[in-house]
Structure 1
């Protein structure tokens, strides 16, 4: 039986550059998807067509396969699933397409990997829940290639909606009932050069500073030590690495405040916009993740009526997010006039499977 799977991209409302440090995050799936359509074949070969790029791939269905390039995520999904006891019983023809901008901070690669893992599970006649789907996608995208990313993107894609991820002794996922509307994505059209390298650099720098904190303050606790104590400790240490580490603690506290707003009886749009603006300030000034083009798109969006704006993903290019509950069209036009590509989006559904008649 032919089938289709889809997995959404995501935006991180609060907690950028936090999940891989073990700090809480609040991501939201968006209604932009990677789709894989699968048709059973009559041999033992997996054949793939990437409809958006014209690329093709073919490999045996029943054995471990080598990687043709770094970050070969569909092949890695097959390999990881095979190691976990799930492998197609026969050949399949896959068609892959999507509408998530690539290398733009919207987790297109995580959506692709999540969709691929779900597709392999269905080809293997196995049912997997959201948590296992997210974990297997994380292993296929991040651990398989020894990269530095966290689990946020995969859980956001698997679950859908707006979620809170808490990284304590055991990862805890809580779906947030709030459904804020009015989001606009602005693509700067500047592709990020090295997302993986950026994440590795930030992670290594910040975690090294945490170790310095512990040497200076043995009772330092990443989850609970007040940031003002670290600021006091750092009065005579004015360097970039220390600023970055302190910024991650400010992000930690901001995420807690944002969770309170989103879990309230009614989300105040003005308060949410202010928090998004504050988050961008930390990402821009504390972590150096913005660009002149992104700043231009943000300024124009705020002038057009957005209540809050921030850069998406690892930064250094890619996209920005505008929260504009009553001004989406105006903000989209402002982004376009400023040389960006706008996308009006809603919070999306999680990864899903559907059987096809043909």
Structure 2
């Protein structure tokens, strides 16, 4: 639980006055649709009830003062010194101010004090939550009328161009656009969206999120390498993006490189699974999502090769312990799994995964059950 009183007190210590407001943005769980976003495909995330919150106020000295409550760190950056390549947590906030200014928006100095309970490095988009909360704060502080999808795009610019992580739009769109008790179906090419009801509790279901505590980073080479392979494959196949592959067998026959074939197979079949999941959600029988989750994980493990032993063990044990279906969620190489469970079963299943980790000599994971939550906005 975030301590918003402590956040306000820290702001007063830093700025000598009360903040002009508090703004938030949530982390997200991707129900299904991994590494499809930058291939112009489809995704189906929902927002978590864990979030980043920023206490903010304007300054008149053309400076950003950025403070992290949890890290107890304080960074000052002059607006005219903002430039891509900055490292560390503060880059995600500074990058948003840079992206807004680069887009021609009149953004001045600000004091931004951050707190967050979105786990870091777990595949739950802690970075997007920080970015989107910053966008919300700066837009309100400086009276910027920017549509929600365009706010998500600006947050992505901050992550791509300023921080240097080659992510797609999924994370920022989910953190900005999601609504309570729904998933967000997003066509990453057209940016058309559909709010899809996810009445988990009414159907006697819950989603367990388990953090394997295996940190990952999108800035490292593995994520970028897969994106580059997909783009190269699309070029060889003569299509704008892998989303446009309509005959998978024909496409695979045209590719000589086995690694490239694997990457293409994952993206094409994952897009198909997202569309099937959308049909399932529309039908109202959410338990039928289970085999799609299982198939998605197998594809990420065998074709996209982005899982790691702790993640695979967590998924396997979740199913052995009675989860209806389970998969890794997020960019890969660590982070979290999700498991679709009968209501009240998540706690037991999380405990049994922990026991399996202990027996295998891994560290202790953390877990919680989640409820689809609303996207970014103002708290106070």
TM-score band, normalised by the shorter chain?
Answer: 0.7 to 0.9
In 2, distance between residues paired with 1:226 and 1:107? 33
CA, structure 1 residues 331+105, in 2 after alignment: closer, same or farther (shift >3 Å)?
Answer: same
CA, structure 1 residues 58+68, in 2 after alignment: closer, same or farther (shift >3 Å)?
Answer: farther
In 2, distance between residues paired with 1:263 and 1:36? 35
Residue in 2 aligned with 1:16? Answer: 34
Matched, 1:28 2:52: no
In 2, distance between residues paired with 1:199 and 1:219? 20
Residue-by-residue CA offset, 1:218-262 (whole Å, 9 max, x unaligned):
89974351323335x26x957222122122111121111111111
In 2, distance between residues paired with 1:220 and 1:114? 27
- Tell me how far 1:85 sits from its aligned partner: 4.0
CA, structure 1 residues 25+192, in 2 after alignment: closer, same or farther (shift >3 Å)?
Answer: same
Matched, 1:344 2:369: yes
- Tell me how far 1:33 sits from its aligned partner: 0.5
Matched, 1:210 2:234: yes
- Of the three residues 56, 73, 93, the one matched with 2:92 is 73
Residue in 2 aligned with 1:229? Answer: 250
The answer to whether the 8 A contact 1:273-1:323 is kept is: yes
Equivalent residues in 2 for 1:1-358 (5 A)? 2-39=20-57, 45-60=63-78, 63=80, 65-66=82-83, 69-70=86-87, 72-88=91-107, 92-145=110-163, 147-161=165-179, 162-168=183-189, 170-180=190-200, 181-214=205-238, 222-223=243-244, 225-231=246-252, 233=253, 237=256, 239-264=258-283, 266-269=284-287, 271-326=288-343, 327-337=345-355, 338=357, 339-355=364-380
Aligned residues: 345
The answer to whether the 8 A contact 2:39-2:242 is kept is: no
In 2, distance between residues paired with 1:291 and 1:127? 43
Question: What 5-or-longer segments of structure 1 have no aligned partner?
Answer: none
Q: What RMSD over aligned residues (CA atoms) do the two structures have, in Å?
A: 2.5
CA, structure 1 residues 268+183, in 2 after alignment: closer, same or farther (shift >3 Å)?
Answer: closer
The answer to whether the 8 A contact 2:176-2:376 is kept is: yes
The answer to whether the 8 A contact 1:186-1:321 is kept is: yes
SS state of the match for residue 149, structure 1?
coil
Q: Which has the higher helix share?
A: 2
The answer to whether the 8 A contact 2:233-2:264 is kept is: yes
Greater mean deviation of Cα atoms: 316-325 or 222-231 = 222-231
SS state of the match for residue 264, structure 2?
helix
CA, structure 1 residues 18+299, in 2 after alignment: closer, same or farther (shift >3 Å)?
Answer: same
Residue-by-residue CA offset, 1:134-173 (whole Å, 9 max, x unaligned):
11111111134554211111110001241111134x3212
CA, structure 1 residues 88+207, in 2 after alignment: closer, same or farther (shift >3 Å)?
Answer: closer
The answer to whether the 8 A contact 1:12-1:28 is kept is: yes
In 1, distance between residues paired with 2:37 and 2:107? 33
Residue-by-residue CA offset, 1:60-105 (whole Å, 9 max, x unaligned):
4x6452467247121111112223343455x543210101111111
TM-score by length of structure 2 reads 0.83
In 2, distance between residues paired with 1:166 and 1:312? 18
In 1, distance between residues paired with 2:64 and 2:188? 37
SS state of the match for residue 79, structure 1?
helix
In 1, distance between residues paired with 2:116 and 2:160? 21
Question: What 5-or-longer segments of structure 2 have no aligned partner?
Answer: 1-18, 358-363
The answer to whether the 8 A contact 1:179-1:347 is kept is: no
